[in-house]
Amino acid sequence: MEWLNLPLADWSVRYYPRGARVSGAESVARLVPEEDELLADHERLRRIVVRFFPGRPAQMLYLHWSNGADLNALDQSVAAGAAGKEEFSGALPAQATSIRCQACGASSRVVMATPGTPFFDDETERLRTHRYIEKCPNCDVRWTVNVLEIVPTGGTRIRREQATGGLRSPSCAMRTTVTTSTVPHNDGAGAPNRGSPLRRSVVSVREPVSSPRRGCRRQ
């Protein structure tokens, strides 16, 4: 199955149903072919490609559900042109990115929510009610970013870094360094103004960074 055209809010989105591959015929920002293959059959997310601004590259994004939505049925609805607001009511826009846990130094490739992606007016409520992977699987300390999935690269590519520099005494403040970030949001170039122009992917601090020792506890 090829990609399907999906109108989403004011945008024309390429929707990739289960198993479809994002073609390399055109430059797609943030596309990692191996990742695309790994996530093509995922039961909680669907891949989309959208061009927010003329003249800029289309980019790879994800829609993620944590409410048990039947995405195979969604594929059929989109193919039939019958998917509306209801079908996407549980979806949260996301992108793949690399994060590093500052408590233990483990790096993870994750799919993370991207607040400010201009698809859904009730984004705040979606962010509040969505379910996340809350803790680093390596050290069990809470992450401060909204991680939706860990990309299963041959058994979760997490590496514990050797104790060097700041890692010698791990920061238990649990700030997670986001090495790549942001969707190029609305810059006013002819598109509706929704949300702030640019919002980083780090969206919530679940624990106060001022209490580092407490943050070291396992929960």
15 vs 132, which CB is nearer to Zn ion? 132
- Angstrom distance (rounded) from CA 186 to CA 68: 31
> Closest distance between Zn ion and the C-beta of residue 218, in Å?
11
Q: Which residues bind to Zn ion, rule: CB under 5 A? A: 101, 103-104, 106, 136, 138-139
- Angstrom distance (rounded) from CA 199 to CA 192: 16
Nearest in space to 140 (alpha carbons), one of 65, 207, 66, 45: 207
Note whether 21 and 38 are within 8 A (CB). no
- Residue 190: DSSP 8-state: S
50 vs 174, which CB is nearer to Zn ion? 174
84 vs 166, which CB is nearer to Zn ion? 166
Note whether 3 and 34 are within 8 A (CB). no
- Residue 152: DSSP 8-state: -
Q: Where are the alpha helices (DSSP H) in 82-170?
A: 123-129
136 vs 151, which CB is nearer to Zn ion? 136
